[in-house]
Structure 1
Amino acid sequence: MSKSELEVQVFFINLIHDEKYITARWAKRYSEITGIDAETLVKGTVLFILSLLVVLKEPHYLANGLLVLAPIVMTYLEPTEKPSSGIMCIYWTLFGIFVLFDRILEYIPLYYIFKLAFFVGLFLPPSNPSIEFIHRKINNIPEK
């Protein structure tokens, strides 16, 4: 396993177990309520969402709703987890472009699953030199 793959794996493990993230706090809270292990709970939730995206007649409501809700929660409800302004600028620009072409692109099988994966990838730690370069350039943009 390469260094970049390990970095991404550690990032996802931290999202589930490190309580500085809202996802870990959510997983712990519902794990205590249900008695189900946090990892199993998160995997089940992800599997449930992915299966809904496959079977729903109008999956764009769920996918786009999640893609709007997640950054809003990170920005306003959990300001400690707020991504940099550069990442958010790229995120909302790409999101707008994707939404414009959703009705055409949804004929691609599993399009909304790929779309969610792509946007989750924007928040992953830099895992190769070109992405590191982009992150460095974005993070050097002064915030107002």
Structure 2
Amino acid sequence: MSDNYLEWIESRIHDKKHFTARYLAHLSDLSRIEVTTLASIICGILFIILTFCDQAHFFANSILIGIPFLLVFCFPEEKPNEESLYIYFPIFGAITLFDRNLEWIPFYYVLKMVLFLCFFMPPFTFYQRIYEVLSKDPQQENTIECRSSQLKSVSTAREISTKTALSNTLNSPKSPLITSSRRNANDIKTDVTQRTDVSSPMKTPSTPKNSDVKVTIIEEYYREEELLSPNGSVIERVVSGPFRKETTTTEKKKYK
């Protein structure tokens, strides 16, 4: 977890494919200060402003709004996917409405900045987890669970009825098996003849010539999602599942 976190931060400081690294390199050339030291100084100044300045509300929200707009309009090749922005801005707006009520929390605006940073920073990537929760269909899952429970109850009832019918047949005093066992060994031929004449208590249902057949197809699949960096490399891969999908159709079957 810590390795992914540090790699993500170092790429924003040193990898010049990100606009933050390019600006830090430019400031480093002007001030002749090492890039890592310059980034630490900027973070320290920002921490002091967000903690002790009376305008911390303005600075924090300006940064949280300005950076996404820079990525969308000035550096579109570095912007995150649209799904993340659809989740980011509504949550940002909802929390910002209560800023004045939550300022009593120590380091509130620093914590707010860290929270929205974790929306895109691995291994957290909060936007992806929120999207997975929102994309699930609870109604479909409940339907699958209900159908599976119904299938289990039907199979259990059939097993119980079959066992009951067999036990009643074997325990019946008129059963040919019991009748033959009570007789002497000399009457075996008569017993066999008598057993063949007795009709079976299990009635065989007649099969209609035309009938409807209900066919249920159950498919099981997995869902794999990959978090890609702006250059196309895979940052994180998430495999969720298994998921079940049922398809029910009715077909007409003809018997000869």
Structure 1 gap segments, 5+ residues each? none
Letter in 1 for 2:38: L
- Of 43, 47, 69 in structure 2, the residue corresponding to residue 46 of structure 1 is 43
Give distance in 2, aligned partners of 1:109 and 1:82. Answer: 32
Residue 20 of structure 1: SS of its match in structure 2?
A: coil
- Of 88, 104, 109 in structure 2, the residue corresponding to residue 112 of structure 1 is 109
Give the alignment's TM-score, normalised by structure 2: 0.49
Does residue 1:7 correspond to 2:4, yes or no? yes
Q: Give the corresponding residue for 2:129.
A: 134
Per the TM alignment, residue 111 of structure 1 is displaced from its structure 2 partner at its CA by 0.3
| Bigger relative contact order (CA 8 A; separation at least 6) | 1
Per the TM alignment, residue 119 of structure 1 is displaced from its structure 2 partner at its CA by 0.6
Contact 2:13 2:20 (C-alpha < 8 Å) held by counterparts: yes
Q: Give the corresponding residue for 1:84.
A: 81
- The structure with more helix, counted as a fraction of residues: 1
Give distance in 1, aligned partners of 2:74 and 2:128. Answer: 29
Residue 103 of structure 1: SS of its match in structure 2?
A: helix
Describe how 1:62-73 pairs up with structure 2 within 5 A: 62-73=59-70
What's the CA shift string for 1:29-50, capped at 9, x where partnerless?
0101100000111111011011
Per the TM alignment, residue 88 of structure 1 is displaced from its structure 2 partner at its CA by 0.8
Structure 2 gap segments, 5+ residues each? 136-224, 227-256
Structure 1's consecutive aligned runs of 4 or more residues displaced over 6 angstroms after TM superposition are: none
- The structure with more strand, counted as a fraction of residues: 2
Per the TM alignment, residue 86 of structure 1 is displaced from its structure 2 partner at its CA by 1.1
Q: Give the corresponding residue for 1:58.
A: 55
What's the CA shift string for 1:70-89, capped at 9, x where partnerless?
10011111111101111111
Larger Rg: 2
Give distance in 2, aligned partners of 1:136 and 1:73. Answer: 23
What's the CA shift string for 1:96-129, capped at 9, x where partnerless?
011111111111111000000001111112x16x
Per the TM alignment, residue 132 of structure 1 is displaced from its structure 2 partner at its CA by 9.3
Q: Give the corresponding residue for 2:230.
A: none
1:133 to 1:77, Cα distance in 2 relative to 1, 3 A: closer
CA RMSD of aligned residues (A): 2.2
Give distance in 1, aligned partners of 2:131 and 2:87. Answer: 14
Give distance in 1, aligned partners of 2:91 and 2:44. Answer: 25
Per the TM alignment, residue 58 of structure 1 is displaced from its structure 2 partner at its CA by 2.8
Per the TM alignment, residue 133 of structure 1 is displaced from its structure 2 partner at its CA by 6.2
Give distance in 2, aligned partners of 1:122 and 1:88. Answer: 10
1:75 to 1:52, Cα distance in 2 relative to 1, 3 A: same
- Of 69, 74, 92 in structure 2, the residue corresponding to residue 95 of structure 1 is 92
Contact 2:119 2:127 (C-alpha < 8 Å) held by counterparts: no
Q: Give the corresponding residue for 2:221.
A: none
Give the % identical residues.
29
Letter in 2 for 1:68: I
Contact 2:5 2:121 (C-alpha < 8 Å) held by counterparts: yes
